[in-house]
C-alpha cells in the first residue's frame, strides 16, 4: 500500500488496486477564522497551503471516505471540487443526508460488518472524539456532532491498515486492534483541544498508550500542523519520539510525503 499525507486529516491511500481519498479539505491557507474557545484565538487556518494542486490530489481517486462531517474533514471547497457522482463512504444516515443536500449521488454507509469496494473490504470502527463530560459540551455549543468513525482496510495480498479517525485512545481503538490485527495505523495526532475540553484527538500520551498496547504496530501520525486548535506539532512529537527511541515505530510524514507499507 501507499499512503500519501496530503494535509491535516486529508490522506490519499492506494490499496488493493483502488485509490481512496480520506477527509478532503481543500481550503487555501488562512481561509477560515480562528476557532472559538481554542488556545490560539488569533490563529486563522488552515495554517499551510495544500502541498499539491486539487487536480493532482483528485487524480486517479476511485472513492472518498468522509469519517465525519466537520469542516476540517470535508469543506465547501471539497464540495465544489468533487464530482457529484464520486463514490463517497460515510459513517451514518445523518452524514449521508448532509452530503445529499450538496448534490452527491453515489453515497454508501460503512458498516461494522464490512462493505466491499473492488477487491477491498472496508470496516467501520468506532471513535470517541474526546471525553464525553469535558469535550461534548463544546460540540453542542458549536452546533456540530461528536460522532466520528475509523476505517479498517483489508485485501488479499495487502497488509491490514487501520485509519483510527478523530478519536482519543480508548476501548474502541483497543477493540479494533484486537479484532483486525492491523499492520499499520494512521492516527490523527495534533492533540486538538478547546479551553477545558481536554484532548479531542490523539496526542503524545495516546500514541504512547497505543504503542504500549501494540508494540509491533507501525503508527503514522496525521492531521498535524494545520488546524487552529492543535496543541501538538510535528516538531514536538518528533522530539518526544527521539527521546523515547520510537522514531522507527511512529512515522511523522510531511505534507505531500508518501509512505510505502
In a domain, 261, yes or no: no
Spell out the SS3 assignment of the chain: CEEEEEECCEEEEEECCEEEEECCCCCCCCCECCCCCCCCCCCCECCCCCCCCHHHHHCCCCEEECCCCCCCCCCHHHHHHCCCCCEEEECCHHHHHHHHHCCCCCEEECCCCCEEECCEEEEEEECCCCCHHHHHHHHHHHCCCCCCEEEEEECCCCCCEEEEECCCCCHHHHHHHHHHCCCEEEEECCCCECCCCCECCCCHHHHHHHHHHCCCCEEEEECCCCCCCCCCCHHHHHHHHHHCCCCCCEECCCCCCEEEC
pLDDT of residue 45: 98
CATH number of the domain at 75, please.
3.60.15.10
Confidence (pLDDT) at 247? 97
What is the reported pLDDT for 92? 98
- Give the pLDDT of residue 137: 92
Residue 191 lies in a domain: yes
Quote the pLDDT of residue 187. Answer: 98
Q: How many other CB atoms sit within 10 Å of the CB of residue 52? A: 15
148-175 confidence digits (pLDDT tens): 999 999 999 999 999 999 999 999 999 9
Is 13 within the bounds of a domain? yes
Q: What is the pLDDT of residue 140?
A: 92
Which whole-number Å values give the CA distances from 66 to 155, 176, 250, in the listed order? 20, 19, 24
* In-domain check, residue 260: no
Digitized pLDDT (tens) for each residue of the chain, 261 residues in all: 999 999 999 999 999 999 999 999 999 999 999 999 999 989 999 999 999 999 999 999 999 999 999 999 999 999 999 999 999 999 999 999 999 999 999 999 999 999 999 999 999 999 999 999 999 998 999 999 999 999 999 999 999 999 999 999 999 999 999 999 999 999 999 999 999 999 999 999 999 999 999 999 999 999 999 999 999 999 999 999 999 999 999 999 999 999 999
- Using a cut of 0.85, tell me whether the model's pTM lies above it: yes
Total domains in the chain come to 1
Q: What are the backbone dihedrals phi and psi of residue 171, each rounded to the nearest 5 degrees, phi first?
A: -60, -30
User: Whole domain around residue 133: which residue ranges?
Assistant: 2-254
Amino acid at each position: 500500500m501507499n499512503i500519501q499525507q496530503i494535509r491535516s486529516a486529508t490522506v490519499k491511500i492506494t490499496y488493493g488496486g483502488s485509490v481512496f481519498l480520506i477527509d478532503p479539505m481543500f481550503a487555501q491557507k488562512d481561509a477560515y477564522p480562528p476557532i472559538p474557545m481554542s488556545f490560539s484565538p488569533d490563529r486563522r487556518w488552515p495554517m499551510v497551503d495544500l502541498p499539491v494542486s486539487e487536480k493532482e490530489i483528485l487524480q486517479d481517486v476511485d472513492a472518498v471516505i468522509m469519517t465525519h462531517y466537520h469542516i476540517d474533514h470535508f469543506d465547501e471547497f471539497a464540495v465544489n471540487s468533487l464530482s457529484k457522482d464520486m463514490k463517497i463512504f460515510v459513517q451514518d444516515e445523518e452524514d449521508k443526508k448532509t452530503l445529499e443536500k450538496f448534490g452527491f449521488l453515489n453515497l454508501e454507509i460503512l458498516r461494522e460488518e464490512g462493505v466491499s469496494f473492488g477487491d477491498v473490504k472496508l470496516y467501520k470502527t468506532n471513535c470517541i472524539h474526546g471525553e464525553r463530560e469535558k469535550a461534548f459540551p463544546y460540540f453542542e455549543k458549536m452546533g456540530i456532532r461528536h460522532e466520528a468513525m475509523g476505517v479498517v482496510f483489508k485485501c488479499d495480498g495487502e497488509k491490514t491498515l487501520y485509519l483510527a479517525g478523530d478519536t482519543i485512545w480508548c476501548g474502541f481503538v483497543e477493540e479494533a486492534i484486537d479484532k483486525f490485527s492491523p499492520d499499520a495505523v494512521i492516527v490523527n495526532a495534533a492533540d486538538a483541544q478547546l479551553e477545558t475540553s481536554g484532548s479531542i484527538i490523539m496526542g503524545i500520551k495516546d500514541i504512547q498508550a497505543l504503542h504500549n498496547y501494540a508494540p509491533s504496530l507501525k503508527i503514522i501520525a496525521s492531521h498535524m500542523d494545520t488546524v487552529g486548535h492543535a496543541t501538538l506539532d510535528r516538531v514536538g512529537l518528533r522530539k518526544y519520539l527521539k527521546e523515547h527511541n520510537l522514531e522507527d515505530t511512529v512515522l511523522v510524514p510531511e505534507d505531500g510525503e508518501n509512505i510505502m507499507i
